[in-house]
Amino acid sequence: MTDSKVHSNIIFSQQIDVELRKIVQKYPAGKVFLLTDQTAAGFCLPLIQSVIDEFSIRMVAIPSGEENKNIQSVGLVWDFLSNYGADRKSLLINIGGGMLTDLGGFAASTFKRGLDFVNIPTTLLAQVDASLGGKTGFNFNGLKNEIGVFMEPNSVIINVNFLKTIDQANFLSGYAEMLKHGLIKSREHWDELLTFDMESIDYDALQEIIAHSVAVKEWHVLNDLTEQNIRKALNFGHTVGHAFESYAMKTGRPILHGHAVVYGMIAELYLSAKQCGLGIDELNSISSWMIARYGKFEIQESDFEALYQLMTHDKKNEGKRINFTLIPEIGKVEINVDCSKELIIEALNYYKSCGLRDSSSEL
């Protein structure tokens, strides 16, 4: 995987300390800093402790959890960098899950108008999605990633050994983004994901399919960094999914990002069937498979309007249109598909009914 001005150097390695040392030694003494969160600090720092000690890297930890992905946490990072003399020749190492790499990337990109940063993702979601692609930011006014900038990390170091410490729910959350990559890329990659044993994980095999998944995102980002065209394919499931995620948080029933994306994909698969010709049998088969593994975030018809209003705030919208990325078949995408409010409500109703009965009559 190549390096370029708009493209991160993505490193797959079992020797994370060796790779990090190569990067850190390029920076002036005292100008390398590390950001982590309380969860990653306990499980993940031991793998790079020798580098931290060797180069006297200063560290700061922010509280874990999506509720801490806010301007207050960004301010803590800015204070830390300012207090210890960070400048534009400094490096910030972000080690943690997607919340941490998003927030740390934003803090680095904006401090003194930008300093270098490296992401070391410690969850599956961060490894296949959040830590690469150049999207940084934080949540604001109850809306996910409302404030942010596009800025690629200089490097991303991926080590599957971190994944041995995450629970099944967080593994599934990351796997959801891989499922999305399969649906937009090819039936071959989709089938590879369906047949992987998520109960008894072979980590060598997992690293291989993570590499396949990362390559999907990498290709879209390299060809459209600021999401003007084909990169929008990566938004499949996210217009509805982000609405689910925000609504779940607002109503005191928070759900993991990947689970929200799965629920969003189910609704958007329905839209794909109605708007783009996705087969009904394919729609019902994929939806049933997803519900069997991810369960459901229960909603009522009385929730539909609030969910719709959240979709109107989506950053991908143009004017009053709610833009969707849909799939006419596995491995093909249509971007900028405009769907009526009536059809979006139908899709939410389809999702609500999934697992209760044969939903094909909805079509």
Q: Please state the domain extents for the chain.
A: 9-165, 224-362
Q: What is the pLDDT of residue 43?
A: 77
Residues 6+ apart with CB under 8 A from 47: 16, 17, 159, 161, 162
Reduce the DSSP state of residue 96 to 3 states and report it. strand
Could you tell me the two tokens for 303? 């929730």
Reduce the DSSP state of residue 318 to 3 states and report it. strand
Backbone Cα Rg of the chain: 20
| Per-residue pLDDT of the chain in tens (363 residues, 90 and over written 9) | 333 334 568 999 888 999 999 999 999 999 999 999 988 888 788 889 999 999 999 999 999 888 899 999 999 999 999 999 999 999 999 999 989 999 999 999 999 999 999 999 999 999 998 777 888 999 998 887 889 999 999 999 999 988 988 899 999 999 999 999 999 999 999 999 999 999 899 999 999 999 999 999 989 988 888 888 899 999 999 999 999 999 998 999 999 999 999 999 999 999 999 999 999 999 999 999 999 999 999 999 999 999 999 999 876 666 678 989 999 999 999 999 999 999 999 999 999 999 765 444 445
Q: To 10 degrees, the CA torsion angle through 140, 141, 142, 143?
A: -60
Reduce the DSSP state of residue 165 to 3 states and report it. helix
The residue among 202, 259, 222 whose CA lies nearest residue 66 is: 259
- Write down the residue that tokens 């930008």 correspond to: 114
Report the predicted TM-score, pTM, of the whole model to 2 decimal places.
0.86
Reported as type and span, the H/E element at residue 305 is helix 304-311
Could you tell me the two tokens for 64? 């874990």
- Are residues 135 and 102 in contact, defined by beta-carbon separation less than 8 angstroms? yes
Q: What is the pLDDT of residue 129?
A: 87
SS (H, E, C) 36-88: EEHHHHHHCHHHHHHHHHHCCCEEEEECCCHHHCCHHHHHHHHHHHHHCCCCC
d(CA 323, CA 39): 36
What CATH number belongs to 224-362?
Answer: 1.20.1090.10
Return the amino acid letter for 252.
Answer: G
Q: What is the pLDDT of residue 2?
A: 34
- Extended beta strands in the chain, E state: 9-12, 32-37, 58-62, 91-96, 116-121, 135-140, 143-150, 155-158, 323-329, 332-338
Quick one: residue 36, left, alpha or beta (phi over 0 = left, psi -120 to 50 = alpha)?
beta
- Write down the residue that tokens 């649906």 correspond to: 183
Q: What is the pLDDT of residue 131?
A: 72
Pick one of 3.40.50.1970, 1.10.10.10, 3.40.80.10, 3.40.50.720 as the CATH number of 9-165.
3.40.50.1970
The residue among 89, 117, 116 whose CA lies nearest residue 101 is: 117
